[in-house]
Amino acid sequence: MIIFKSINTLNKEVNFKANIGFVPTMGALHKGHISLIKSSKKICKKTLVSIFINPSQFNKANDFKNYPKNLKKDIAILKKLKVDYLLAPKVKEIYRNKKNSKIKLKKKDKVMCALYRPGHFEGVLAVINQFLIKIKPKHIFFGEKDYQQLLLIKKFVKNKFKITIHNCPTIRGKGNIALSSRNVLLSNTDIKKSAYIANLILNFKRNMKRDILFKKHLKNIIYKINNIKKIKIEYLEIRNKINLSKNYNRNNFKIFIAYYNNKVRLIDNY
């Protein structure tokens, strides 16, 4: 694996006209990231993974500071997977111009995480924009774990870049918890609570699939979850999975949650 600390050197060494798959990450790699890398390796001749903890997508300084990092371990994982290139750029290189650190969202897109984490997706779109302008890959891979992010990126790149976006299903661990880099910040007790929440919502979803009118019990689920010690829901919403509107039926809905588990903010969708 060749490790690049700068996009300039990456561009000098690698010809992106070739069939190269790009998997952007913030590191602290887990099986969710690995599934994206494996998809890229299946479809593309070469795979580039980036590890960049993007400061402009954090709306709380402490969250940025505490975000899990383990570059050594990540490199070992990537080497084992036979990834071709790793890009670990410096903040200065990505945001030479401060103007590039945010991309505005449309008002109608400001729901769920876009509403509760002001500036977050503006920062995500900005870094993806910088990567795509500077690297020009033909294939890029994202996880459905960050479903709202995936839809926003799809919309953003649509008429701007010639690129195929591949979405990969959410990988879950023990107790149906969605794998996340932030899970290392959870204790065993916290993990049990997250598993309980995941299964509660999965069960609720099954009931809604059988009878859409079951949606009226959502408030009971919210009540149950908020009654767990040190758990606080930010939002728990049912939305149309195509456009995130509240207009949905039993075939096109998804359930979205963001909550704090002992101060760690987690998101998931089912």
Min separation Cβ 83 and ligand AMP, Å:
14
Position of minimal CB gap to ligand AMP: 143
Indicate if the alpha-carbon torsion angle 1, 161, 246, 241 is positive or negative.
negative
Catalytic residue among 30, 33, 120, 139: 33
Half-sphere exposure of residue 122: CA atoms within 13 angstroms, side-chain side: 19
Nearest to 233 by CA among 243, 220, 246: 220
Question: Is 217 considered catalytic here?
Answer: no
Touching ligand AMP, residues 160-199 (CB under 6 A):
168, 170-171, 178-181
Min separation Cβ 144 and ligand AMP, Å:
6
Owner of token pair 């990540």: 74
Can you tell me which of 4, 7, 14, 33 binds ligand AMP, judged by CB under 6 A?
33
Interstrand relation of 164-168 and 139-143 (parallel, antiparallel or unpaired)? parallel
Min separation Cβ 249 and ligand AMP, Å:
26
Q: Which is nearer to ligand AMP, 202 or 218 (CB)?
A: 202
Count Cβ neighbours within 10 Å for each residue of 101-117 and write b for 16 or more, e otherwise. Answer: bbbebeeebebbbbeeb
Cα 238 versus chain centre, distance: 19
Supply the DSSP symbol for 178: B
Spatial contact of 118 and 43, defined as CB atoms under 8 Å apart: no
Q: Does 74 bind ligand AMP (CB under 6 A)?
A: no
Q: Determine the number of helices (DSSP H) and then strands (DSSP E) in the chain.
A: 10, 9
Distance CA 187, CA 176 (A): 16
Owner of token pair 């609720």: 204
Min separation Cβ 89 and ligand AMP, Å:
15
Q: Which is nearer to ligand AMP, 35 or 261 (CB)?
A: 35
Q: Does 94 bind ligand AMP (CB under 6 A)?
A: no
Site string for ligand AMP, 128-167 (x = CB under 6 A): --------------xx-xx---------------------
Number of residues binding to ligand AMP, judged by CB under 6 A: 17
Min separation Cβ 224 and ligand AMP, Å:
24
Residues forming the active site: 33
User: What are the residues binding ligand AMP (CB under 6 A)?
Assistant: 25-26, 32-33, 35-36, 142-143, 145-146, 168, 170-171, 178-181
